[in-house]
Structure 1
Amino acid sequence: MIYIMDERRKEERRILYIPLCSDVTIGSIHQQEVLCGSMEACIKDISIHGLRCISPLRFPINSNFILRFQTRIMDNVINLDGNIAWRKNDPQAPGIYEYGIQLHHDEFSSAMFTKLFNDMGIWLKSSSFVPGCRFCTKETCPLYPSKHKIEHH
């Protein structure tokens, strides 16, 4: 797979040939915390300030609607909060949506995530495998192997 840098991108992205499996839940709506269940989403690529994922859930595109992703990167459980920047559906995979998420970090989570992101980049230069991550597998993730080929817009 060849990846061409989109001019709109502000920063380097880590393309994950095996997606990270993540629990996604609604974190807040209009700054009011929401308590609800979670569902799995596959993170296909990630940067310091954003991620691209797929999910069977159809979320609204609204800056007041914050999603929370929880995954494991290099043996660290990490929570990533962000709002949906865009959504696409794939006519060949009805009921699966692809999202572009703009991440929001506080000072502590930003420093921690930046270090993990940089360490992950070192591993990805020589391998598609990063140790200690929660990668999607056929046994654990209902969305993997993905039959849909939604690409960058």
Structure 2
Amino acid sequence: MEMRALNDKREYFRIKLNHPLCATMTIVLVDGHPMKTGSTNVCIKDIGPGGLRFMSHLKLPESKKVILEFDARICGQDYQFWGSVIRTHKKEAGVWEYGVEFYIDEATRSKYVYLFNQLAIKLYKYKQWHSCSICAKDEPAVCLRSRDGEGK
């Protein structure tokens, strides 16, 4: 237990999702310049007030110069999260897993702490996802394949 605490570099808690949260991702800024790109489907595996972990078919760079926007439905409301990739891991052929750190002010982070605490309570108590965009598939790679071509 003590070793885990030493190796855990996260500043904020994360909620590990048993089923992925379906979301869309868009590249919004590169080196401070606005981008006009389409969105792609991604699967969020865990999320918290400091960031999220997601899977995608796209190969993205680890760079604080590339800002991504994630759109997801959580607890009955649509949310947009902005952040950059700080970790990359190849999961299988054509599927990548990423760690994202959010770019937010402390007031927004406080709102996220409340939101994710409510989500954690709802998941623990009721084990219901009816107000979130949770995938019916167990595996994120299967979810991504089933959602190909559904982007905005």
The 5-angstrom pairing of residues 14-29 of structure 1 reads 14-29=15-30
Distance, in Å, in 1 between the alignment partners of 2:31 and 2:98 is 20
Distance, in Å, in 1 between the alignment partners of 2:105 and 2:31 is 18
Residue of structure 1 in register with 2:114 after alignment: 115
Distance, in Å, in 2 between the alignment partners of 1:142 and 1:39 is 14
* Superimposed CA distance per residue, residues 117-138 of structure 1 (whole angstroms, 9 cap, x where no aligned partner): 1110111222443331011135
Residue of structure 1 in register with 2:52 after alignment: 51
Task: Report SS of the residue matched to 2:113.
Answer: helix
Identity of aligned residues (%): 29
Task: Report SS of the residue matched to 2:143.
Answer: coil
The 5-angstrom pairing of residues 2-81 of structure 1 reads 6-81=7-82
Distance, in Å, in 1 between the alignment partners of 2:86 and 2:19 is 23
Aligned residue type for 1:27: V
Is residue 2:129 matched to residue 1:130? Answer: yes
* Superimposed CA distance per residue, residues 108-152 of structure 1 (whole angstroms, 9 cap, x where no aligned partner): 6434433211110111222443331011135xx874288xxxxxx
Gaps of 5+ in 2: 146-152
Task: Report SS of the residue matched to 2:120.
Answer: helix
Aligned residue type for 2:123: L
- Kindly indicate whether the alpha-carbon contact (under 8 Å) linking 2:56 and 2:144 is maintained by their aligned counterparts in 1: no
Larger fraction in helix: 2
Distance, in Å, in 2 between the alignment partners of 1:61 and 1:88 is 10
Cα 1:68–1:145 change in 2 (3 A) is: closer
Aligned residues: 139
The 5-angstrom pairing of residues 87-102 of structure 1 reads 87-90=88-91, 93-102=92-101
* Superimposed CA distance per residue, residues 64-109 of structure 1 (whole angstroms, 9 cap, x where no aligned partner): 001110000011100000000010102xx20000000001114564
TM-score by length of 2: 0.81
